[in-house]
Structure 1
Amino acid sequence: MRDTILVTGGAGYIGSHVVRQLGEAGEQVVVLDNLSTGFADAVLHGTLVQGDVGDSKLVTKLLREHAVGAVMHFAAHTIVPESVENPLKYYGNNTCKTRNLLQACQVAGVPHFVFSS
């Protein structure tokens, strides 16, 4: 049975609030965050795994070991002035890494995916 929810970027502002609500609702949660803008102390429920959503081996391992049934993806870069100054950074993270995450979910048979940016 796939009942764990993987929350990427779950140590950030929006992600940590979602994780809190999921935890308070009794959901099993695994958080994947590289802590580049998030804080470990913000993750009040579930298991925090420090790593990058672009690490395909880690993502595949988490999807399988935790029987993930849904992914909530909040690991996008969102600072507009920085995106203009460094568009390749944003393309790499927000497009390429998200595509790789979607592909890993498809291979692992994860039926639900929510993307928020």
Structure 2
Amino acid sequence: MNFCQALISPSPPKQLLAKYFSSSPEITEHGPKDGCEEYFQIMTDVLEMSLSHVAFPRAEEGIIVDAAVGMVSVVGKGRFRSRKTKKGWDEIFIYRFSEFDEEVRVRHEEI
């Protein structure tokens, strides 16, 4: 997905939301439904995220599309580091995107 590739060299949270998410986005991980921009900003403030050009698979290699229910799942991998403690770790994570708008922008992201 283009959104996943955009995370490799991320734009500010507000720009990511405007480009890749619907006008009423929801992220399921932490916080309320109306906190998407705040969520991205907090993550940016506390973590450094390093994603290589192979952080996400090519569509034919590992992106799961379920057109019947309107859902896309993708596994990513990256290195994260706490800005406060400077401790870092490698992480594998799953994004699940659903409830796309008429412009095929994400309305719901689950991490």
Same fold (TM over 0.5): no
Q: TM-score, normalised to structure 2's length?
A: 0.24
